[in-house]
Structure 1
Amino acid sequence: MPYVNYGREAITFEKAVYKFVDEHPEYDMKNYGEILEKVGIEWGINSMESAIVDDLDARTVLALLIGAIRADRFCEGALLGFMKSGAIQRWLVRLKELDL
Structure 2
Amino acid sequence: MVHECVDDNEDLGVRDYRGVLDSYGLPDEESVLAANVSKCDGKCTLAMIVTIVRSDRFCEGLLLRYLGNGMMLKWMKRLKEIDDE
Structure 1: tracts of 5 or more residues without a match? 1-15
Q: Which protein is richer in helix relative to its size? A: 2
Alpha-carbon separation, structure 1, partners of 2:3 and 2:28: 18
The letter of the residue matching 1:24 is N
Within the candidate set 6, 15, 21, 2:6 is matched to 21
Q: What is residue 66 of structure 2 aligned with on the other side?
A: 82
- The share of aligned pairs that are identical, in percent, is 33
Q: Which runs of 5+ in 2 are unaligned?
A: none
Length-normalised TM-score, structure 2: 0.87
Query: In the alignment, is residue 99 of structure 1 matched against residue 83 of structure 2?
Result: yes
Distance 1:69 1:78 in 2: 8
Count of paired positions? 84
Query: Which has the higher mean CA deviation after the structures are superposed, 63-72 or 33-42?
Result: 33-42
Poorly superposed stretches of 4+, deviation over 3 Å: none
Structure whose alpha-carbon radius of gyration is higher: 1
- The answer to whether 1:66 aligns with 2:43 is no
Q: CA deviation at 1:94?
A: 0.8
Aligned-partner residue type, residue 65 of structure 2: G
